[in-house]
Amino acid sequence: MIDSAEQTIAASPLLETKLYTPRWRPAFVSRPRLVRRLDQGTERKLTLVSAPAGFGKTTLLAEWIATFEVGERAAAWFSLDQRDNDPALFWAYFITALQKVLPDVGEVAISLLRSPQPVPIESVLTTLINEINAAAPGSSTIPGRGILLVLDDYHFIDAQPVHAGVRFLLDNLPPQMHMVITGRADPPLSLSRLRGRGELAELRPSDLRFTEAEAAAFLNDAMGLELTAADAAALETRTEGWIAGLQLAALSMQGRNDVQGFIKAFSGDDRYIVDYLVEEVLLRQSNLVRNFLLQTSILARLSGPLCDAVTDQEDGKEMLETLERGNLFVVPLDDKRRWYRYHHLFADVLHAHLMEEHPDLASTLHRRASEWYERNSSPADAIRHALAAKDFERAAGLIELIWPVIHRSFEDSTWLGWAKQLPDELVRARPVLSVGYAWTSLIAGDLESGESRLQDAERWLDAGVRSDLPSVKMVVADEAEFRTLPATIASARAFHALAVGDWPGTETFARRALELLPESNYFERAIPAGLLGLAYLGRGELETARRLVGEGMASLQKTGNILLAISGTPLMAEIRVTQGRLREAVSTYENALHLVAKHGERPPQGTAELYLGLTELCLEHGDPETAASHLLRSEKLNEQAPQDAYQYRWRVVKAQLKEAQGDLDGALDLLNDAERVYTPGVMPDIRPVAAMKARVWIIQNRLTEALDWVNKQNLSVDDDLSYLREFEHVTLARVLAGRYNSSRDDLDIHDAIELLERLLQAAEEGGRTGSVIEILVLQALAHAAQANTSRALLPLERALTLAEPEGYVRIFVGEGEPMRDLLRHAAAAGITGFYTQRLLSAFGEPDQSVASSRNAAAELADPLTAREIEVLRLIVAGLRNQEIADQLFISLSTVKRHIANGYGKMGVSHRTEAVARANELNLLS
């Protein structure tokens, strides 16, 4: 989720400081030998500058970037700190940094980070990479030598999800982009693999140490000393070229008379040097400066007003400018000198001195920082400093106040991480905070914790006091949220009940929430309405489920959020498919696409899934060509706006296409992948992938695997039947029939027929006509397997009668040769004549009425397809495009595409020419 992260960035006064590229000043020592190394490294994917603190990593990169000619190469900079371990925040800052040099890149990726459902960062980055790849080097977008992106201080990152995303980006880095990472330790980014591929350039401490000449120039020119060559060389030897040590030593020597004595006494390892020299530097400062340094050491970023608030003084701006002029380890973070930071090594030691000398003062300083950040609209920083101050009361209030934003953005791991740092008794005293804790826990899948927190909140609402906490008073920071808490709790309870399969409980709590919420609370009402719909779906009450889900979608549409408004479309369409109303299912998807088209130029996340649904429907209508076209369109849309759930659905739908094309092994591979990426949620799993695999095994005559599936699922012909397991029980009937065809054991076919009869009755009672058609087809095949054709034609005729108005094809053709034989008998008996003949033609038996037309069409340089001939004949018959779509059970857009293709092949531009050309070629005879 990353709406809260996006808001955190937008509101943060530190945004410019994190994305500010440091400026190199001529007063620094120039290091051309290392600049050349950096230039050479751009031929590879990654340059790693890895060394302990104080080796001049950032300064070197600033010097390098300063050498870039205008228009030659663009550089983006992202300064990292501990907060950036939140993946949401990290990638939002990363993309924002990139947009400083590529302003036209990243909008889609940012929109994905705002998604109410977590999106895999690989999907977000794929979108970003594709956008960068689309921009050619040397264009107005990308300079001729590409772009450089610096991740500074990467050692702060220890979150594996962030590492995984950076590894993915490096594996797929656009050729016009080079990445530089600095840090005190090697990052876990598969460096050995990059090194082996020749994709890694490295600068190590041995490279970064000052040479004697550089040390002398730094000490005398930059630090203003007048050392002899021998003294400078001695100091370089004692520090081993360590730049921070040299700088600290130079600060200590300023104003000393016995410089040589100081140099001779100077020895020890890095840690000792730092402790010794910082103490020396601090002792040489006035009490005013020393106190300022210690008190502001708690801050990751420094500004005049913030320092004033923390130190309770009024000289923060002037003090920072004085420290910078004195080279006292202060680094500017913007061109206007509003924000600074201390050198990390210096800050660490300052903070250690603060905790040693004034351990009780740190909490006060953090509290002051928290108050300043709250006043300046940076709630995330305010919360962090309140937690650091161990002012848990204050932190709890801030965390509670930001909860509504999180709730409306669904889930935020950062918020839950803050809440988990609070003492348990404090959370339990705050009902609004407890409910926020419950919701985020439920969404994260921690049902036990969610239940516990809901109970805490409910106890306060019931009595206003807690019998289990008699000395504790209820605390509320957000009165508005408290007033709506009964409805929020009811929605959370409905979510919990649905997650555990408690349909009555879901209905009870969802209805309570809807009763409590005003009609104008569109977003809040959509949640219980959707949950209530899912509960009815689980019970098999499809029409009620569809109405409730539709109400939720209509409510979300009123919020103006197009993504949320179309999110329920696949479920709405699936209900219509189950009801056997394929045309309405097509219309459901097309209406959603029309809504998307009205939204704007960029299709929102979720649009790709609409085309997946149309792919399935085209397959059922016997139009694999259009199905493949929809699938391709879906894949391209998902590249633009990836969605987590898409990866599962795409594999399932493509497996169906593979099966229809006869590639059963390919279908199984995709189903295995789908099973691997499937993540359970509150949505009932009506068609489990394991059952789909069993159906493919049956076609392959791999009955052992299919029977193993039956045993693992503990399925039996005597089971109680329900809508939720209907797909599995129909699959069981297929397994039994398949075993009968192999072993001829009468018990198997008897059990299959008996189970199908029970399933038929349940489906008819539930109004599930789509299921009824499939069950009737299986009944017909079961009787045919017993060589009882006359009995088989009875359920087949009924199936054909139900299927014809909706244009079903695959449900018959997918059954193979046994169904072809039955359809021949049906055609001979005059059962649904035209429709039966059309199904036989789908098996490859051409309709005699179009055979001669096909022969004539073949004379064209680019022959017409069978479908294009059908469309042409209906045009000649005077049918309008929509009437042709209805006649052939295809969408209007598909008709238009066939017309355009046919006109192009015949060299005509309108209907009159098409009819004349068709007669000329004898296409209609």
In this prediction, residues 850-873 reach a mean pLDDT of: 65
Q: What is the DSSP string of 418-445?
A: HHHTS-HHHHHT-HHHHHHHHHHHHHTT
Does the pLDDT value for residue 687 go beyond 90? yes
CA distance 327 to 319: 12
- Residues 793 and 825: beta-carbon distance below 8 Å: yes
CA distance 264 to 249: 12
pLDDT band at 853 (very low <50, low <70, confident <90, very high): very low
The values of phi and psi at residue 524, to 5°, are -65, -35
Residue-wise pLDDT for 356-382, tens only, equals: 889 899 999 999 999 999 999 889 899
State percent of the chain over pLDDT 90: 43
Quick one: which of 609, 639, 650, 608 has its CA closest to 127?
639
pLDDT band at 267 (very low <50, low <70, confident <90, very high): low
- The pLDDT assigned to 5 comes to 45
- Residues 3 and 401: beta-carbon distance below 8 Å: no
Q: CA angle, corner 221, sides to 215 and 226, nearest 5? A: 85
Assign 3-class secondary structure to 627-659.
HHHHHHHHHHHHHHCCCHHHHHHHHHHHHHHHH
For residue 299, give Cα distances in angstroms to 131, 156, 350, 370, 605.
37, 15, 11, 11, 39
Quick one: which of 741, 744, 711, 743 has its CA closest to 728?
711
- Residue 362: partners with Cβ closer than 8 Å, 6 or more residues away: 298, 354, 355, 388, 389
CA distance 30 to 60: 9
pLDDT band at 470 (very low <50, low <70, confident <90, very high): low
Highest mean pLDDT among 49-58, 279-288, 515-524, 899-908: 515-524
Does the pLDDT value for residue 544 go beyond 50? yes
pLDDT band at 332 (very low <50, low <70, confident <90, very high): confident
- Residue 591: partners with Cβ closer than 8 Å, 6 or more residues away: none
Question: What are the strands of the beta sheet with 302-303, ordered from one edge?
Answer: 302-303, 339-342, 330-332
CA distance 604 to 564: 10
Residue-wise pLDDT for 874-917, tens only, equals: 887 777 888 787 777 677 777 888 888 888 787 777 777 777 77
- Residue 121: partners with Cβ closer than 8 Å, 6 or more residues away: 87, 91, 161, 164, 165, 168
Q: SS3 for 342?
A: strand
CA atoms within 13 A on the CB side of 118: 14
pTM score, two decimals? 0.65
- The pLDDT assigned to 24 comes to 57
Q: Name the average pLDDT for the chain.
A: 85
Helix spans in 484-560 (H): 485-499, 503-516, 522-538, 542-558
The values of phi and psi at residue 152, to 5°, are -95, 135
Residue for token pair 């009882």:
788
pLDDT band at 3 (very low <50, low <70, confident <90, very high): very low
- Residues 739 and 703: beta-carbon distance below 8 Å: yes
Q: CA angle, corner 99, sides to 94 and 102, nearest 5? A: 130
Q: Which amino acid is at 138?
A: G
- The pLDDT assigned to 432 comes to 93
Residue-wise pLDDT for 590-620, tens only, equals: 998 888 887 765 676 788 899 999 999 999 9
- The pLDDT assigned to 643 comes to 66
For residue 704, give the H/E element and its range: helix 703-712
- The pLDDT assigned to 411 comes to 53
- Residues 81 and 156: beta-carbon distance below 8 Å: yes
Residue for token pair 């300043």:
372
Residue-wise pLDDT for 84-132, tens only, equals: 888 888 998 899 889 888 888 888 888 777 766 667 788 888 888 888 8
- The total number of residues shown for the chain amounts to 925
- The pLDDT assigned to 667 comes to 96
